[in-house]
Amino acid sequence: MPTVSQPLPASLEQIVQRFQQISEPKRRYEYLLWFAKHLPPFPATQKVAANRVPGCVSQVYVTAGLEQGKVSFQGDSDSQLTKGLVGLLVEGLSGLTPAEIMQLKPDFIQRTGLDVSLTSSRANGFYNIFHTMQQKVQALYDEC
């Protein structure tokens, strides 16, 4: 699979570079779990079918909002590693414009080294979460 064709937004590039500095797979997982621990609490009222990420073994929820032209995400999962993936994406994508998010390709995960150590179901979960976030952004754009 080719590498990302356009430069990543600064927030996402910084996360990718931090992962690249970690050579041990165990430490990469620890850093991923850091994202899980730092996700803001997700409102129980938002744990509804419309916010559930399809195709994930874990229960994963994502919401998106638009403020002053920038997207803000919230998310949660019942699995800590998956919650870490959600946290990574929430951290990396929140604050971007809808256009920036829509032009991104999820293959930046390869640059983190996580794709090698994730199980196939978790890797698929990452792509499902990413695509759901893009769909939520598209829905926000369509509402405008």
DSSP helix/strand/coil, 21: coil
Q: Do residues 109 and 115 make contact, with C-beta atoms less than 8 angstroms apart?
A: yes
| Active-site residue, selected from the candidate residues 8, 12, 39, 56 | 56
Dihedrals phi, psi of 20, to nearest 5 degrees: -65, -25
- Report how far residue 23's alpha carbon sits from residue 52's, in angstroms, rounded to the nearest whole number: 33
| Dihedral pair phi/psi, residue 79, rounded to 5° | -110, 130
Angle, CA 37 vertex, CA 43 and CA 134 arms, to 5° = 60
What residue type is 124 in one-letter code?
N
144 catalytically annotated = no
Catalytic residue set: 56
